Amino acid sequence: MESLDTHLNRFFMIIGGVAILSLMALATGNVLLRIFHLPYSGAYEITSFLGAVVIASALGYTQKNKDHITVDLITEEYSKKALMLVELLASLVMASFFAVVSWRIYIWGMKIWESGEVSETLKFVYYPFVFFVAVGFAMAFLSAILGVFRQISNLRVKGL
């Protein structure tokens, strides 16, 4: 499972990289064309969709590598055992949160799909982007739950 998680996260980071390059090209092109009073119609919508892809793509990777912000003012005084237990509890909470968010975003995407809703300016079908965000949170869940198993294994190995 660890190998699958690593490969999926790498794949999602590539998608995120392509999305951010596209976002930068769109924004740069739009700024340049504004000089000639020819801005892209719907640039704001496309930027929003691409921004969602960029963020969703990074969720699993960030969770796996623990690249998120942590505040350890209180926990730096904990014993090693207590710190490991707090990290285990935090990972369980994060896994639960990511699972619920992924599920609720998926349900929202289904409602958009079934209703045939489209974006306001471009009349673009955007439920695939909503589903992509749901998958991004599912990747964060996978990384968090694998972290839980890794932490339980570490507790067992250390006899705690």
| pLDDT for position 52 | 96
Confidence label for 160 from pLDDT (cuts 50, 70 and 90): low
Shortest CA distance to 53 belongs to which of 8, 10, 14? 14
Q: Does the pLDDT of residue 61 top 80, yes or no?
A: yes
Highest mean pLDDT among 5-9, 64-68, 81-85, 155-159: 5-9
| pLDDT for position 77 | 80
Q: Token digits for 25?
A: 């090209």
- Find tokens 């090693």 and name the residue: 80
Contact partners, residue 122, CB within 8 Å, separation at least 6:
41, 42, 45, 46
Q: Token digits for 81?
A: 């055992």
Q: Give 68 or 153, the one with higher predicted confidence.
A: 153
- Which pairs with CB-CB distance under 8 Å and at least 24 residues apart come from 69-72? none
User: What angle in degrees, to the nearest 10, is found between the helix axes of 80-115 and 127-157?
Assistant: 160
d(CA 142, CA 4) in angstroms, rounded, equals: 10
